[in-house]
Amino acid sequence: MARLGGGAWALALGLLLATEIGITLADFIVEDQVRKPLGGLLPGERATHTIMAIIYGAMIANLIPVLLAWHRSATALHPEPVNVPLAYRLALTALAAGTCASAVRDTYAVAGFPRRAARWPWPKPSPPQPSSQAGPAR
């Protein structure tokens, strides 16, 4: 295991986090647009997104001073072995792989590539058809 040591690595991590924030914001916009014809986001889902954003913001606020301190130090990776059970390592590796797959899919959507290749889990909504029945005359 290695700990981020500083210098350029701190800058790289900061840029990666800023990119992730930008992609997430763009994904929120896409999600709202795609879900609008389906009734929009559920109130519980909207609340969950808000809570996650507040917690993530708090984490970033605590990380910024650490990144600034790391940035002032020499660029290096420092090995720090950690005794973590194999089951935890495997579970976290699986979660990381799923997160990476989700990030690739989000990047694909944000880049505006054709949706048919993105395999959206819902069909594209068809435009409303004009009614053939005449309403009551007034």
Is the pTM higher than 0.75? The answer reads: no
Asked if residue 47 is part of any domain, the answer here is yes
Asked if residue 129 is part of any domain, the answer here is no
Which residue do the tokens 């194999």 mark? 86
Q: What domain range is 40 assigned to?
A: 1-78
Segments of the chain with pLDDT less than 70 = 1-5, 114-128, 130-138
Q: What mean pLDDT, rounded, does the chain reach?
A: 83
Token digits of residue 67: 């990144």
In the DSSP assignment, the letter for residue 78 is E
Residue 1 pLDDT: 46
Asked if residue 102 is part of any domain, the answer here is no
Asked if residue 93 is part of any domain, the answer here is no
Asked if residue 124 is part of any domain, the answer here is no
pLDDT tens-digit map of 61-96 = 999 999 999 888 888 877 788 899 999 999 999 999
Give the relative orientation of helices 43-71 and 8-35 as an angle to the nearest 10 degrees: 170
CA diameter of the chain: 81
SS3 category, 36:
helix
In the DSSP assignment, the letter for residue 77 is E
Asked if residue 30 is part of any domain, the answer here is yes
Phi, psi of 12 (to 5 degrees): -60, -45
Residue 39 pLDDT: 87
Residue 76 pLDDT: 82
Asked if residue 17 is part of any domain, the answer here is yes
Please tell me the total count of domains within the chain: 1
Asked if residue 5 is part of any domain, the answer here is yes
